[in-house]
Amino acid sequence: MSGRSLADALARHAVTLEDTVVRPADGVREVVAAGTVVAVLGSALELRLRPAVAAAALRTPDVEASSRGAGWVRFAPAEIDDFVRDRAVAWLESAVRLAVEDELQD
C-alpha cells in the first residue's frame, strides 16, 4: 500500500468526523476541522498536533518536524501496515479534536 492510498483512507475517514471537511489544495488534500487546517494529505501526511502529542510523535519512526510550524509533524512511512494506519488515524482524530477545542475556547 502506498502513501497515497494511506492518504485516501485518511481522507475517507476524515469526512466521517464531526465538523470536518476535506478539500483539494495544490496537488494535496487539506483536512479542515472547525475552520482550521489540521492535516495535509499527500505523499507524506502532515498533521497539527498538541505539543505533547507532537513531541511523542517525533520519537516515532518515519516522523519529523514539518516546515508548517510548531506542533506540525510530517509522517512519511516507508511501509504501510496496520500499526501505521492506526497511528495515522489516531493522530488525525487528535488533530481534529484540538481544532474543535480551540474553536470552543474562542
**pLDDT attached to residue 104:** 78
- What mean pLDDT comes out for the span 51-68? 97
pLDDT tens digit string along 18-56?
A: 889 999 999 999 999 999 999 999 999 999 999 999 999
Partners of residue 75 on adjacent β-strands: 45, 63
Reported pTM: 0.92
Side by side, the strands of the sheet bearing 36-41 are 20-25, 28-33, 36-41, 45-48, 72-75, 63-65
The domain made up of 3-101 is a member of CATH 3.90.1150.30: yes
Q: Is the pLDDT of residue 2 over 70?
A: no
Residue ranges of domains in the chain: 3-101
Backbone angles phi, psi at 41, to 5 degrees: -110, 115
d(CA 44, CA 51): 20
